[in-house]
């Protein structure tokens, strides 16, 4: 059965966005995302290899040292259980990151012709709506997806789509974005890897110490394996440890990597600019564009970016929001799986002081504009 011709034909929608949104969404100026190739998965294979490669040496050290030399079955089982529990937790988080969508902006596709007709009506109503403020409001319209962009969502040029509460695009984890639904699993993955490296490094360091103090009581190969494992774990801690500290800071202040590294995103959140006290019109757009700002105004925005935390509602609530627990001991369950965000990824509680700070920033930008 052929589909009836619509009563109103709007014609093809232009690929060109509203000029005002185009000036603001500079992260969306990239070309459409190319399809994933086989070489995009090579870093992921390297990540899995880095997790699995040390295990033959770990088994060799545990068997030779704790069973043959020390004769302690209990310590052997304890170390084996701890190491493989952390390994299992690391892979559980990695599987969640790879299998889960980081945060779909569009609603789930509905099936059936009746539902499709209803979707067409909804789109038609949206296009015919007289209120097109969202299309021309910076940060609320994606000119690549040609769709509304929710709060804290960003367009990824690698994935070719918008991601809810996008943190960053990671090539090491399947060439995927980390967003609202996978960011907590990403933190869980980093923490488990770091704990695993710390545990293996400490266990093997004790074996190296025993080999130096009792050279005749141990063979020549076991200390070599232990020394390499201790060094390997130490390198992992040096690389992953600062990364964990950085993301712990982001979670405690309720920021994403994109928000922390892009101070001029504050311009999109500014209220309506006040008039200059001199009585003349300021030369800034409303809200201002980054290229319109002078050096002093840019410095002011960067300094304000270090103090204005729009979504910071206290470190306890921030951590609970990211990992998604409501009960007092809900974090225990998240230790195993990593969990997901508590909100819907589209609306977030705001810092009650952020609006006043943004209003002061807008007034200061206008005052600085009179000196230009």
State the pLDDT at residue 137: 54
DSSP H or E stretch at residue 200: helix 183-213
Locate 359 and state its tokens. Answer: 């209003």
Q: Compute the chain's Rg from CA coordinates.
A: 27
Cβ atoms 345, 103 nearer than 8 A = yes
The proportion of the chain whose per-residue pLDDT surpasses 90, expressed as a percent, equals 45
| Selection from 317, 322, 313 nearest residue 354 by Cα | 313
Separation between Cα atoms, residue 3 and residue 249, nearest integer Å: 54
Long-range contacts made by residues 141-147, C-beta under 8 angstroms, separation at least 24?
141/17, 141/18, 141/21, 141/25, 142/25, 142/28, 143/16, 143/17, 143/18, 143/21, 143/22, 143/25, 143/28, 144/28, 144/32, 145/105, 145/106, 146/13, 146/15, 146/17, 147/105, 147/106
Tokens of 368: 């600085």
* Region of 314 on the Ramachandran plot (φ > 0 left; ψ -120 to 50 alpha; else beta): left
Number of other CB atoms surrounding residue 187 within 10 Å: 24
Q: Which parts of the chain have pLDDT scores under 70?
A: 1-34, 107-139, 276-282, 326-341, 371-372
SS3 state of residue 316: helix
For tokens 């232009």, name the residue: 14
**At a CB cut-off of 8 Å and minimum separation 6, what does 193 contact?**
51, 90, 236, 240
Burial (CB count within 10 angstroms: exposed 0-12, middle 13-18, buried 19+), residue 194: buried
pLDDT score recorded for residue 28:
45
Choose among 166, 109, 173, 184: nearest CA to 345: 166
**pLDDT of the residue at 147:** 83
The domain spans of the chain are 21-107+132-240, 257-369
Q: Pick from 107, 105, 248, 89: which is nearest to 183 by CA?
A: 248
H-helix or E-strand containing 163? strand 161-163
Q: Give the C-alpha distances (Å, rounded to integers) separating 321 from 82, 192, 316.
A: 29, 20, 9
Q: Tokens at residue 123, please? A: 């789109």
Q: What is the DSSP string of 100-148?
A: S-S-BSSPPPP-SHHHHHHHHHHHHHHHH-S--HHHHSTTSEETTTTEE
Q: How far apart are CA 251 and CA 341, in angstroms?
A: 12
């Amino acid at each position: 059965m052929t589909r009836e011709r619509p009563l109103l034909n709007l014609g093809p929608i232009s690929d060109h966005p509203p000029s005002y949104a185009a000036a603001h969404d500079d992260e969306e100026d990239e070309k459409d995302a190319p399809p994933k190739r086989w070489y995009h998965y090579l870093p992921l294979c390297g990540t899995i290899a880095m997790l699995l490669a040390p295990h033959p040496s770990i088994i060799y050290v545990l068997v030779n040292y704790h069973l043959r030399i020390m004769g302690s079955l209990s310590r052997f089982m304890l170390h084996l259980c701890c190491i493989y529990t952390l390994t299992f937790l690391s892979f559980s988080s990695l599987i969640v990151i790879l299998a889960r969508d980081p945060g779909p902006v569009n609603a789930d596709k509905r099936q059936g012709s009746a539902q499709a007709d209803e979707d067409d009506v909804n789109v038609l109503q949206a296009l015919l709506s007289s209120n097109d403020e969202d299309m021309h409001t910076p940060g609320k319209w994606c000119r690549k997806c040609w769709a509304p962009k929710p709060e804290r969502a960003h367009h990824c040029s690698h994935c070719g789509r918008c991601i809810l509460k996008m943190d960053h695009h990671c090539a090491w984890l399947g060439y995927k974005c980390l967003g609202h639904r996978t960011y907590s699993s990403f933190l869980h993955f980093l923490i488990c890897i770091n704990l695993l490296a710390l545990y293996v490094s400490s266990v093997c360091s004790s074996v190296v110490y025993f080999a130096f103090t009792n050279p005749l009581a141990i063979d020549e190969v076991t200390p070599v394996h232990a020394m390499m494992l201790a060094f390997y774990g130490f390198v992992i801690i040096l690389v992953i440890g600062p990364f964990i500290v950085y993301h712990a800071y982001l979670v405690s202040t309720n920021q994403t990597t994109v928000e922390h590294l892009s101070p001029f995103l504050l311009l999109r959140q500014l209220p309506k600019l006040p008039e200059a006290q001199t009585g003349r019109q300021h030369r800034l757009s409303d809200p201002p564009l980054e290229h319109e700002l002078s050096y002093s105004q840019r410095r002011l925005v960067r300094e304000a970016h270090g103090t204005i935390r729009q979504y910071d509602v206290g470190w306890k609530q921030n951590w609970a929001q990211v990992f998604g627990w409501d009960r007092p001991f809900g974090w225990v369950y998240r230790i195993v799986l990593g969990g997901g965000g508590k909100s819907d990824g589209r609306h977030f509680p705001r810092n009650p002081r952020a609006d006043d700070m943004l209003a002061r920033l807008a007034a200061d930008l206008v005052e600085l504009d009179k000196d230009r």
